[in-house]
Amino acid sequence: MIKLYSSLTEIPMHDHDPFRIPPGHKVDLTRYDPAFKEHHLDKDEGAAETERHTRRLAELQYLLYAEQRRSLLICLQALDAGGKDGTIRHVMGPLNPQGTRVHAFKVPSAEEAAHDFLWRAHRQAPERGEVVIFNRSHYEDVLVARVHELVPKAIWQERFDLINDFERNLNLNGTVILKFFLRISPQEQLRRFKQRLDDPARHWKISAADYEERKHWDAYQKAYEDVLSRTSTDHAPWYVIPSDHKWYRNLAVSRIIADTLEALKMRCPEPSVDIDEIRRQYHEAKNGGAVTSDK
């Protein structure tokens, strides 16, 4: 039975929502501290709390899968070394791989580039019961495409409304959308690049393009400010996650996702069979039920 929704499902506000961007809010990123953490927490306490949230998440994912009514789409955006991969490993790692999928958005292939910019995102949207993580997303088309002038201004400017319509459509079909901008400082980015240089096991991650992109830092901040100001809605909100401390980033993201899924008040579906009858017929009969013993 397909469940359609005639009105938008809003994501309720939680106790821990200082990072959520209210709709229409004009964002000035310099007011957000990327090294923020809650001062009563240290790294070990933070990790323990993250573990508590990921355990909740695993239980909630089970319900999402069992219910087959809704789906969850998580968009992760960040500059290079911002921590998208680490977030996926730490926050999503404990989930059941059955029912979870990660899709990474790269430079569009020839086939993708031959379609409208939302085509490839729509194809990867979650089906009912599924959790999908976009590692980068359709937002690249108003970020890298703008900063590198891959399309004219008149084109990328139209895309904010198109994205809002797209996400509205997904939401009406039962998809809960959470969008995270993992924000680090330029100093922290350079420190992480240097760590890669110092660790041969991470040399493969280094690209000259990453250093090149640093030159566009300010342009990216501006592009992100517009994204956050124009596409954060009650039903598909953006969160600016302070990400200089990896442990705090993991805590903040896992808590928001778990709180959001919990608020859906999902329940296991009613059984489609008569449980008492099955128990009586197959489990309580003398000589072990309907199947004769092979002894």
Contacts to Mg ion by CB under 5 A = 80
> Of 148, 32, 134, which Cα lies nearest the Cα of 84?
134
Q: Which of 36, 105, 134, 181 binds ligand AMP (CB under 6 A)?
A: 105
Residue nearest to ligand AMP (CB): 140
What is the smallest separation between the CB atom of 112 and ligand AMP, expressed in angstroms? 8
**Quick one: CA dihedral 92, 81, 244, 263, positive or negative?**
negative
> Which range binds ligand AMP by CB under 6 A, 28-36, 49-57, 106-114, 262-270?
106-114
What is the smallest separation between the CB atom of 210 and Mg ion, expressed in angstroms? 6
Give 130 or 141: the residue with its C-beta nearer to ligand AMP. 141
> Of 3, 78, 7, which Cα lies nearest the Cα of 235?
7
Token pair 């680090």 in the structure block, residue = 184
Give 140 or 259: the residue with its C-beta nearer to ligand AMP. 140
- Residue 145, both tokens: 């495409």
Dihedral of the CA atoms 190, 192, 193, 197 (nearest 10)?
A: 130
Site residue total, ligand AMP (CB under 6 A): 10
| Residues paired with 72 in a beta bridge | 131, 176
**Quick one: CA dihedral 254, 257, 259, 261, positive or negative?**
negative
Q: Which helix (H) or strand (E) holds 183?
A: strand 175-183
Give 76 or 131: the residue with its C-beta nearer to ligand AMP. 76
**Quick one: CA dihedral 85, 196, 193, 30, positive or negative?**
positive
Give 28 or 212: the residue with its C-beta nearer to ligand AMP. 212
Q: Which of 29, 144, 155, 263 binds ligand AMP (CB under 6 A)?
A: 144
User: Which partner, Mg ion, ligand AMP, none, binds residue 94 by CB below 5 to 8 Å per kind?
Assistant: none
What is the smallest separation between the CB atom of 119 and ligand AMP, expressed in angstroms? 11
Site of interaction with ligand AMP (CB under 6 A): 105-108, 136, 140-141, 144-145, 150
